[in-house]
Amino acid sequence: MSKVKLNIAGLSSGHTNGSYTLILGEENGRRKLPIIIGSFEAQAIAIEIEKIVPFRPMTHDLFVNFAKTFDIVIIEVEIYNLVDGVFHAKLVCEFDGQIREIDARTSDSIALAVRFKCPIYTHEHIMAEAGMIFTEDMTEDDMIDEPAYGSSATPSGEGGLTRMSKEELEEKLNEALHDEDYQKAAKLRDELNRRKK
């Protein structure tokens, strides 16, 4: 089967409360693979992409620490099947010179892939069935609503972030991290990064 390498193209809030759409794009093409995931997994992916360091390890960080302690390395994530609209994934791991495959939810697999900095793959038949062509005249909103991550829009609605000083943003960022509100922290970090450009 022909494998297709994917990269994270965006993460946006979904159509229902608590759901998000993770958008994976093929490395050498225009097709995107939208996958609905839960808010906890979306948060876990976003804080790693944004390089936000929580005060205490989150579940996926704990898994990484556990794996590294016992010399287990995830070498790739493979989205290998699509059944009734549900994507199936596996972690391809190396331990003691042997390759092992572990079945896992796709959202958890991606959260671990960004932490291990390993490639994400799927198969051509999955891209043919569930992939979408993203043309130049389309926007991310044509696939999903309310962009939360991966959008160039500035989150000006979050307490008027654009009107806050750099010091106020940094203070709010520390508060959000302390309260483990990583979604708010990501928006604050985005605004701080935007000002550095």
Rounded-to-integer distance, Cα 75 and Cα 174, Å: 34
Predicted structure pTM score: 0.70
> Which of 97-128 are b and which e, b meaning 16 or more Cβ less than 10 Å from the residue's Cβ?
eeeeeeebebbbbbbbbbbbebbbbbbeebbe
Beta strands in 39-188 (DSSP E): 72-83, 86-95, 98-105, 120-123, 132-133, 147-149
Residue 64 pLDDT greater than 90, yes or no: yes
**Kind of pairing, strands 86-95 and 19-26?**
unpaired
**Would residue 190 be called left, alpha or beta, if left means φ above 0 and alpha means ψ between -120 and 50 degrees?**
alpha
pLDDT single digits (tens) 125-184: 999 999 888 655 554 444 443 333 333 333 334 446 777 788 888 888 777 777 767 667
Domain extent listing, the chain? 3-151, 154-197
CATH superfamily of 3-151: Bifunctional nuclease domain (3.10.690.10)
